[in-house]
């Protein structure tokens, strides 16, 4: 087995893109917040899913959160100025299941204030569903909202 800690994250990602079979998940993440015009739909990237499920390649989600904190700084120029080394030097995660990989992507890519308080208020702010549960007609996509009925996407 390869010791991926010896390689920088970009090298690990390049290897995974060349060597791993993409994993296409049927899960979709629908989320919204009061300041959004319509619900957003997150479709996990098949190559990123494959890398997460392979294991040993990606740093934990808290590393990505620290980098997001850096980006929010007024004096931010690039990650190497603050904590960019964390991407390359942090112990990579174990292999994840499909569901764990989707949860990781939610915590990485959906704004934290949405997933941390997903069920606060009168209706959920986030719904995990399957592709076939979303409306197939995309004509009114810019008007989609999360339904109040059992958290289904509408």
Q: What is the pLDDT of residues 68-107, one digit of tens each?
A: 888 888 887 777 666 778 888 889 999 999 999 999 999 9
82 and 137 both lie in a single domain: no
86 and 31 both lie in a single domain: no
Angle at Cα 45 formed by Cα 40 and Cα 46, nearest 5°? 140
pTM for this one? 0.84
Question: What is the distance between the alpha carbons of residues 119 and 151, in angstroms, rounded to a whole number?
Answer: 10
5 and 71 both lie in a single domain: no
Task: Tell me the residue range of the domain where 2 lies.
Answer: 1-58+94-154
Per-residue pLDDT tens digits for 4-31 = 778 889 999 999 999 999 999 999 999 9
104 and 45 both lie in a single domain: yes
Question: What is the distance between the alpha carbons of residues 146 and 153, in angstroms, rounded to a whole number?
Answer: 5
108 and 154 both lie in a single domain: yes
109 and 78 both lie in a single domain: no
6 and 51 both lie in a single domain: yes
124 and 84 both lie in a single domain: no
54 and 68 both lie in a single domain: no
18 and 77 both lie in a single domain: no
29 and 80 both lie in a single domain: no
Counted domains in the chain? 2
């Amino acid at each position: 087995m390869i010791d991926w800690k010896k390689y920088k994250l970009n090298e690990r990602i390049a290897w995974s893109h060349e060597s791993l079979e993409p994993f296409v998940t049927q899960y979709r993440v629908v989320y919204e917040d009061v300041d959004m015009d319509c619900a957003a739909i997150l479709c996990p990237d098949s190559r990123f899913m494959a890398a997460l499920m392979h294991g040993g390649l990606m740093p934990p989600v808290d590393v990505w959160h620290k980098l997001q904190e850096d980006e929010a700084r007024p004096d931010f120029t690039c990650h190497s100025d603050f904590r960019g080394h964390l991407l390359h030097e942090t112990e990579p995660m174990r292999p994840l299941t499909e569901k764990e990989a989707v949860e990781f992507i939610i915590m990485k890519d959906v704004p934290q204030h949405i997933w941390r308080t997903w069920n606060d208020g009168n209706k959920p702010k986030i719904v995990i569903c399957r592709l076939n549960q979303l409306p197939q007609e995309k004509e009114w996509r810019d008007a989609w909202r999360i339904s109040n009925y059992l958290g289904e996407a509408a």
